[in-house]
Amino acid sequence: MKKELVKTKILQKREVAPNIFEFIIDADNALRESKAGQFIHIKCGDGVYLRRPISICELFENKLRFLFEVKGEGTRELAENEQGDFLDILGPLGIGFTTNKTYQTPVVIGGGIGIYPLLQVAKEVNPITILGFRNKSLITLEDDFKKVSKDVIITTDDGSYGRKGLVTDSLCEILSKKTVDAIFVCGPMPMIKAVRKIALEHNIFCEVSLEERMACGIGACLCCATKVKSPVVGEDYTYFHVCKAGPVFDAKEVMLDE
């Protein structure tokens, strides 16, 4: 897929939770070819040199939706843009999720801001969805996931909404009742590692989306390398760039615990 540099208009902007912003931008350009799990690389403002990688949340009607949390200078400048402004974007980038197969009982699992690249996945595979948050005030996209999922389970660390506990508790409960044939996951690394372990133990096809710091977004700067099993006979592992070979990897190939 050809990646392009585009300048595209912000059609809508809103703050959906404290310091979490949603932008809907015009995708009547190269961005219309984006796939679930890919990302865009955005120039945040004149005061920030490096672009910021932002996961693609949803595509609809030649529009692209993304959400992000304000964490530093770059995302703070990005959040200062308003409806009608234009963004300088490189994309779509990376390898997305495998949604072009037929799954009987897929499960989508997201934690915190890691839920955002999973909405488009859910739209395409109609899964059971498990979403984990620290507390009720941080919950976003619940209604969106309910529209495209067989069932949605919300967990919170403090029990302020939904089920109290970890997403893995709900996953294990599902596995005790159903035969799951695919798991798609994105979120904090401890959560990804825990879900990956369960998937491997049950021999379930699982794809993980890794969130790493990126600079160039095209595999040139080498700062987002991750350890994967080596395709070369006699070598145990090698390193691939998350921005180019990922951000989505087969759970059997990426080496997160080693």
pLDDT tens sequence across 62-103: 999 999 999 999 999 999 999 999 999 999 999 999 999 999
- Whether 208 and 251 have beta carbons less than 8 Å apart is answered as yes
pLDDT in tens, 206-256: 999 987 555 444 555 555 566 666 554 455 666 565 666 668 988 888 867
Return the DSSP state at 73: H
- Reported confidence tier of residue 46, pLDDT bands at 50, 70, 90: confident
Ordered domains of the chain (ranges, CATH): 5-93 (2.40.30.10), 97-209 (3.40.50.80), 212-258 (2.10.240)
Distance CA 123, CA 145 (A): 8
pLDDT score at 216: 45
Considering the chain, what is the average pLDDT of its residues? 88
Residue 22 clears pLDDT 50, i.e. is over it = yes
Position 14 scores a pLDDT of 96
pTM, rounded to two decimals: 0.90
| pLDDT value, residue 192 | 93
DSSP symbols for 154-187 = EEETTSSSSEES-HHHHHHHHHTTS---EEEEES
Average pLDDT over residues 25-50: 91
Q: What percent of the chain has pLDDT over 90?
A: 74
Q: Higher pLDDT residue, 3 or 11?
A: 11
Average pLDDT over residues 39-61: 90
What is the rounded (10 degree) CA torsion for 94, 65, 150, 184? 20
Angle at which helix 189-201 crosses helix 167-175, to 10 degrees, equals 10
